[in-house]
Amino acid sequence: MNHPGFPGRLFFSDMEKNKILVLIPVFNHGDTLRQVVMEALGLHDAVMVVDDGSTDGSMDGIRDLDVRRLSHAKNLGKGAAIRTGAKEARSLGYTHIITMDADLQHSAGDIPLFKIKIECHPDAVIIGKRDFNTGKIPVFPVLGRSLSNFRLRIQTGRKLSDVRSGFRAYPLALFDFFEFKENRCAFGLEILVKSAWAGIALKEVDISFPCRPNGKRISYFRYLGDCLSIALLNARLTLRSFLPFPHKQFNEDARPERLSVLSPVRSLKRLAESNISPARIAVSGAVGVFLGALPLIGWHTIAILIVAGACRLNKLVALATSQLCVIPFMPAACIETGHFMRHGRFLTEFSMETLGYQCLDRLFEWFTGSLVLAPLAGLIVGVLIYQVLTSGLQGSRPALKKRLGESRPIE
């Protein structure tokens, strides 16, 4: 029996025991590498060090230690080093890797926490959440972490507290499934976003934030090059997240979502037969109608894509149902409602005076009326969609009942 959310051809059997390797990429950290490796070996017997083209003889200090060693002839980047180690670990029969830095930024004492989390969630990416409330942390790292967390929420709808943490655990199946383009620091973001898009759970585990030696950390972050590559990656991922097209899923039973405005009921039934719950489809439709009814002239689509992405709703359903508000009836109903709320009577005169010269008044009334009608219309549409999905699929009642009450989501 295979783990849910992973193709059987990639992942490992439930009968197999998780085999975990601690992976430490290193680049010119000769002063700290030996201490990091010895602490890791004290808590876990399988450790691999990948030398990413160091020029300070970093590996010389661990040649007497019982660790597996790999090397790049030149510096390729942290992401490339992790992928090199992951490929080797996969060939050796390991199922997971725990990555940690070689600069004493991470405490090896937290490795058992990752091992426990892996046993509970073997098909999840696990991120170490640092406690920034201890000690004096510079303001820029804190702001940077908050910004990265916010971007991930927009791009994937997932909420994490420490996206920038490099202390992580990965199922090695991920590295067989994805095609990565980033080799350096941007790789950490790329793998999180692609995992989330593919339906993989992102879990967090609380870790310590040890004091750095002499209050400093040896960093080879290239401020110009790495910041530019991260910015470009964020732009590309954000634009892709706005597109209402499905992402490739690990679940081999997942089917592409196909919607047609000519057959809405059939389209909803197709969605209900996929791995999307009827409740989420209904909420997506309700949000689409709600935002479509607001006077966001020229911005409806962008607003729907952002909200649907941040809330992990179905973008196709939200965009489709928002078209119900394009017809003149909805704006007119909102304007009439707003006019009645302002003057106690409905607008009955339609002329250049009322619709032309008084257009700002009509926009205000549209907005006011939409605050009443948009939630009501969204609720009605959401309830109707849910009723269609739950009562209109009599032929697939057993499967639907199982999905509603018995199955567990990936996250």
Name the residue with tokens 């969609």: 385
Whole-angstrom Cα distance, residue 176 to residue 232? 25
φ, ψ for residue 102, nearest 5 deg: -100, 10
User: Over the chain, what is the mean pLDDT?
Assistant: 79
How many percent of the chain have pLDDT more than 70?
76
- Which domains occur in the chain, in start order? 20-242 (3.90.550.10), 264-405 (no CATH)
Least confidently predicted of 96-110, 119-133, 325-339: 325-339
List, for residues 226-240, the tens digit of each pLDDT value: 667 777 877 787 777
Q: Which amino acid is at 203?
A: K
Residue 266: the pLDDT is: 59
Where is pLDDT greater, at 213 or 198?
198
What is the spatial distance between Cα 154 and Cα 312, in angstroms, rounded to a whole number? 9
**Residue 99 · residue 168 · CB < 8 Å:** yes
φ and ψ of 79, to 5 deg: -60, -40
pLDDT tens readout for residues 268-287: 555 555 556 788 888 988 99
Res 9 pLDDT > 50: no
How confident is residue 3, by pLDDT bands cut at 50, 70 and 90?
A: very low
Q: Tokens 């004091």 identify what position? A: 211
Most trustworthy range by pLDDT among 69-83, 183-197, 269-283 = 69-83
Name the more confident of 44 and 280: 44
Q: Does 14 score more than 60 pLDDT?
A: no
- Residues with Cβ < 8 Å from 199, sequence gap 6 or more? 5, 249, 250, 251, 254, 275, 410
**pLDDT at 50 exceeding the cut of 80:** yes
Give mean pLDDT, residues 359-378: 88
Residues 214 and 205: their CA atoms lie apart, in Å, by 27
211-217: Cβ within 8 A, 24+ apart: 211/135, 212/103, 212/104, 212/105, 213/32, 213/104, 217/103, 217/104, 217/105
Instruction: Report which listed range, 155-169, 267-281, 301-315, is most confident.
Output: 155-169
What is residue 82's predicted lDDT score, i.e. its pLDDT? 95
* pLDDT band for position 210 (cuts 50, 70, 90): low
pLDDT at 151: 83
Burial state string for 321-337 with b = 16 or more CB within 10 A and e = fewer than 16 = bbebbeeeebbebbbbb
**Which range (21-35, 79-93, 198-212, 223-237) has the least confidence?**
223-237
